[in-house]
């Protein structure tokens, strides 16, 4: 009885749960810590109907080689952290508050109920679930000096996990490289348990070729798994390969198709009842671009010409393709695009940047096999039912900049592309700001800030497509300050993705709104270049999740 109470108490304290999917938001796990797993992929545990997400663990110390995080979820909205499945030795960070609380409870019970505690201790240990106990294990794996897993000398990127029926193990594959990207290999690690820890097996050149951005696809009809990879930036490379694995999914066996000289990367494939769609991004480093897709009846081709999957100039809502998930619901089959929004590391070296601002952007895909089309659909907030496969956008209330108030040198400017014909511009630091009045429900609520940010001159519209000609600089985002009801002790940081002239995107924040009228003041913060905030078209306030 006592053991059950203790475990239930530990599970509830400090937990963070979600009902909706909010693309590009700051996500938190059930331990209250930032979701830190980028450019990854999903592996579904069929036995307990649980999704496991594996992604790159980023920190200021190790932005590219910090290891591979693993999280689990029943609904793709609430995520539990399991520490590092592959990485340098460390304690799972999300357990720190649990351990502290456990010690406090244990000491209190020890003082009051020494006899009961002693007699109940075996039951406590025995009743702890395997999953809970596994979380307490140090995620001991690679350490400094390992030839392929050193957090400082190597790159551990774009992990994908698949179960091998033949070996009875989970196989993790990833792009394995040195810190100068001269090796271009594929790594393999295996584990008896889906959450790890994983044991390194090898790093190989697939069929003697180079391998850079890595993806993995399993055909749901025949069960075969395929490695997807670009073969580097050298003149001899610049292809993307679909390569079938051997029967135990340890080594690539044969090339099924080569996309020649498109110079694309970050491949992933989504399969419908009748088609395959290969989704890839262009090569622009940390700057997002227009992701494209190809369609085919067979993985061996022929494949269609590439086509855009999102509105032009949105650069796929500032994402790069990472994974694509088919959800087989009881009422509907749905498809999710799982993109990664990367932070430019030169602009910020602080841990906050890597932890929270390299984010996951997951969005529904609308696919029409008759027309051969695939479109990624933007929604600020959407509600996905894993059981039925159905999803729907959450409706919010819109507040236009036309009705906002400005201070200092900020002002309202005509904009025929904006919904109300007006944008708030000239936002700078805390001297030139824009003020909205919105209604709240007395709880934390998602607020989406629709903005235009035209600093980045990498669209090819400048002389030679290069900002240096006009003494410009690369700037991937502006950062705004958001203050709720004049509470300057709690300044919320709003990272606003780069757009283009007349292209409006949105960035979300979870804000504490009181019941009734609320004042939201938007200013500018330093982004490594200046203190400008992005131009604002509108705010959309969403109802509380009511979890």
CB-based contacts of 26: which residues, under 8 Å, 6+ apart? Answer: 34, 35, 356, 359, 510
Which tokens is 32 given?
């209250």
Residue 67 confidence (pLDDT): 87
The DSSP output letter for 543 is P
> Which domains does the chain possess?
1-18+32-204 (2.115.10.20), 219-393 (2.115.10.20), 397-541 (2.60.120.260)
Residue 368 confidence (pLDDT): 98
Residue 261 confidence (pLDDT): 85
DSSP-assigned states of every residue in 225-284: EEEEEE--SSTT---EEEEEE-TTSSSEEEEEEEE-S--EEEEEEEE-SS-EEEEEEE--
H-only helix segments in 328-397: 351-356
Residue 356 confidence (pLDDT): 47
Contact predicate 445/438, CB 8 Å: no
Indicate the length of the chain as a whole number: 547
Residue 122 confidence (pLDDT): 40
Residue 370 confidence (pLDDT): 96
Q: How far is CA 365 from CA 40, 217, 243, 248, 475, in A?
A: 18, 17, 25, 31, 29
DSSP-assigned states of every residue in 176-219: EEETTS-S-EEEEEEESSTT---EEEEEE-GGG----SEEEEE-
Residue 289 confidence (pLDDT): 86
Residue 458 confidence (pLDDT): 55
Residue 233 confidence (pLDDT): 79
Low-confidence ranges of the chain (pLDDT < 50): 1-14, 88-100, 114-142, 345-356
């Amino acid at each position: 009885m006592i053991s059950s109470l203790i475990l239930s108490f530990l599970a509830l304290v400090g937990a963070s749960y979600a009902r909706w999917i909010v693309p590009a938001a700051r996500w938190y796990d059930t331990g209250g810590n930032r979701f830190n797993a980028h450019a990854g992929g999903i592996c579904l545990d069929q036995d307990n109907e649980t999704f496991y997400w594996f992604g790159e663990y980023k920190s200021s110390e190790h932005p590219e080689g910090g290891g591979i995080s693993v999280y689990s979820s029943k609904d793709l909205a609430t995520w539990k952290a399991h520490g590092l499945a592959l990485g340098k030795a460390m304690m799972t960070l999300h357990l720190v508050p649990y351990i502290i609380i456990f010690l406090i409870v244990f000491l209190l019970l020890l003082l009051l109920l020494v006899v009961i505690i002693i007699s109940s201790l075996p039951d406590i240990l025995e009743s702890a679930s395997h999953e809970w106990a596994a979380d307490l294990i140090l995620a001991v794996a690679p350490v400094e000096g390992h030839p392929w897993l050193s957090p400082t000398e190597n790159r551990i990127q774009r992990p994908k996990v698949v179960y091998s029926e033949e070996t009875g193990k989970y196989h993790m594959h990833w792009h394995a490289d040195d810190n100068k990207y001269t090796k271009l290999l594929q790594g393999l690690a295996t584990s008896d348990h889906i959450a790890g820890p994983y044991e390194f097996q090898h790093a190989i050149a697939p069929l003697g070729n180079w391998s850079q951005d890595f993806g993995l696809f399993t055909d749901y009809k025949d069960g075969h798994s395929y490695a997807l990879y670009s073969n580097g930036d050298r003149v001899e490379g610049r292809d993307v390969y679909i390569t079938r694995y051997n029967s135990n999914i340890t080594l690539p066996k044969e090339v099924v198709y080569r996309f020649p000289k498109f110079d694309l990367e970050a491949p992933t494939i989504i399969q419908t009842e009748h088609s395959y769609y290969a989704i890839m991004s262009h090569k622009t480093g940390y700057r997002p671009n227009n992701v494209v897709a190809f369609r085919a009846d067979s993985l061996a081709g022929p494949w269609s010409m590439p086509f855009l999957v999102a509105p032009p100039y949105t650069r796929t809502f500032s994402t790069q393709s990472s994974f694509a998930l088919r959800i087989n619901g009881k009422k509907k089959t749905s498809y999710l695009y799982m993109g990664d929004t990367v932070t430019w590391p030169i602009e910020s070296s602080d841990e906050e940047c890597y932890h929270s601002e390299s984010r996951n952007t997951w969005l529904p895909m609308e696919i029409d096999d008759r027309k051969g089309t695939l479109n990624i659909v933007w929604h600020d907030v959407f509600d996905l039912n894993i059981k039925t496969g159905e999803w729907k956008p959450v409706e919010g209330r819109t507040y236009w900049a036309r009705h906002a108030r400005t201070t200092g040198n900020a002002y309202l400017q005509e904009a025929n592309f904006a919904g109300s014909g007006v944008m708030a511009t000239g936002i700078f630091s805390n001297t030139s700001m824009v003020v909205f009045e919105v209604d709240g429900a007395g709880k934390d609520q998602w607020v989406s800030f629709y903005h235009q940010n035209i600093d980045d001159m990498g669209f090819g519209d400048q002389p030679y497509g290069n900002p240096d000609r006009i003494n410009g600089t690369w700037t991937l985002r502006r950062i705004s300050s958001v203050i709720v009801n004049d509470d300057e002790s709690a300044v919320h940081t709003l990272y606003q993705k780069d757009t283009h002239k007349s292209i409006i995107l949105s960035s979300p924040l979870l804000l504490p709104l009181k019941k009734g009228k609320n004042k939201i003041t938007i200013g500018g913060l330093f982004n490594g270049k200046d203190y400008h905030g992005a131009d604002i078209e509108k705010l959309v306030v969403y109802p509380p999740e009511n979890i």
